[in-house]
Amino acid sequence: MKKQTILFFSLTIVLLAATWASISLASAQQADCDAFYGTPIPDDQIDGVIGSEWNDAGTFANVSISPWGIARLWSKQDGTYLYVGLRFVADSENPWVAFQLGPSFCMSTAADGAVFGDDTLSPNGYVDIHFTEGAMIPATDAVQDGKGAISVNASKFVIVEMKKPLSSGDAEGKDIDWEQGQICTLSIFWDSNGGGSSGGNANHIGGGSTSRTMLINANPVPEFPSLVFVLSLMVFTVPAIVLRKRWGKRQSRS
């Protein structure tokens, strides 16, 4: 009977692993990352510190950023706002970081964007921008939508947080107009050797594309263990226990 019990438990583990893998793969096949549906983050928690407010966000490791480096990315949405968190190690204590929202080509004409920590454009940490027609340079939006923050510690760990409306209606600012179920594009750039930054050797110009597709996912982030896990566990363990009891009774009779 021990062999049968072990078999049932083994099948349970296989089923649960397959279920979890199928959930993860279903998401991964659609886009590079997901902005899952989650709870709103208040403005005062957009402070350059990744805390528990990101627990229900999609988390993605080993995200390439331009001109070089690997970052960890957090993303979610609440139907009104898009939330993006970023953490990486720079080569300076005074870098700037930029997000481009929309087209995949760097500094695409009329693309929406956000800049963090630029000594000229965003001395207070965050500025809502767009790229001007033809000039391919950032222009500050007249209406500043959203909230952002950047922090850099002595070890050069950079943390960026952004809260931006999915659809602000700001056409002059070229703001995004994204909705649930849509696959969009996010590009990430940083610089540390001039033009609003200093102290390093990272130059965002000529760094190549870091565009990532992002699904504005209407579902919450898959949790494990979940209801599927619990139900699957019951389906396999309950029969195993019943059969074991029956087997024990037969053994005692014999």
Per-residue pLDDT of 221-250, as tens digits, reads 987 544 444 445 555 555 555 555 655 555
Given a cut of 90, whether residue 195 has pLDDT beyond it is no
Domain of 134? 33-216
Residues 163 and 53 in one domain: yes
Q: How do 81-89 and 157-165 pair as beta strands?
A: antiparallel
- Mean pLDDT for 167-176 is 92
Are 191 and 229 within one domain? no
- Please write down the long-range contacts of 141-148, taking CB distance under 8 Å and 24 or more positions apart: 141/170, 141/172, 141/173, 141/174, 141/175, 142/172, 142/173, 143/168, 143/170, 143/172, 143/173, 145/170, 145/173, 145/175, 146/81, 146/114, 147/43, 147/46, 148/46, 148/114, 148/116
Q: Is the model more confident about 241 or about 197? A: 197
Structural domains counted in the chain = 2
What does the pLDDT read at residue 107? 63
Specify whether 126 is located in the same domain as 165. yes
Same domain, residue pair 142 and 162: yes
Q: Is the same domain home to 38 and 149?
A: yes
- 103 and 58 within one domain: yes
Q: Are residues 240 and 202 in the same domain?
A: no
**Phi-psi sector, 189: left (phi>0), alpha (psi -120 to 50), beta:** beta
| Whole-number pLDDT of residue 104 | 65
Are residues 208 and 110 part of one domain?
yes
Distance CA 175, CA 113 (A): 8
More confidently predicted of 19 and 42:
42
Q: How many CA atoms lie within 13 A of 89 on its CB side?
A: 3
pLDDT tens string 42-92? 999 999 999 999 999 999 999 999 999 999 999 999 999 999 999 999 999
d(CA 142, CA 195): 22
**180 shares a domain with 94:** yes
pLDDT, one tens digit per residue, over 198-209 is 999 999 886 666
Judged by DSSP in three states, 161 sits in strand
CATH number for the domain including 194? 2.60.40.1190
How many helices and strands in the chain, by DSSP H and E? 2, 12
Report whether pLDDT(21) > 50: no
Tell me, yes or no, whether 233 and 188 share the same domain: no
Average of pLDDT values for 95-114? 83
* Angstrom distance (rounded) from CA 249 to CA 243: 10
182: tokens are 């849509």
d(CA 166, CA 175): 8
| Domain identity same for 9 and 56 | no
Which pair of tokens denotes residue 159?
């943390």
DSSP 3-state assignment of 150?
Answer: strand
pLDDT of residue 114 exceeding 70: yes
Check if the beta carbon of residue 67 is closer than 8 Å to that of residue 75.
no
**pLDDT (0 to 100) of residue 6:** 54
Query: What is the model's pLDDT at position 205?
Result: 81
User: Percentage of the chain with pLDDT > 70?
Assistant: 71
Specify whether 160 is located in the same domain as 209. Answer: yes
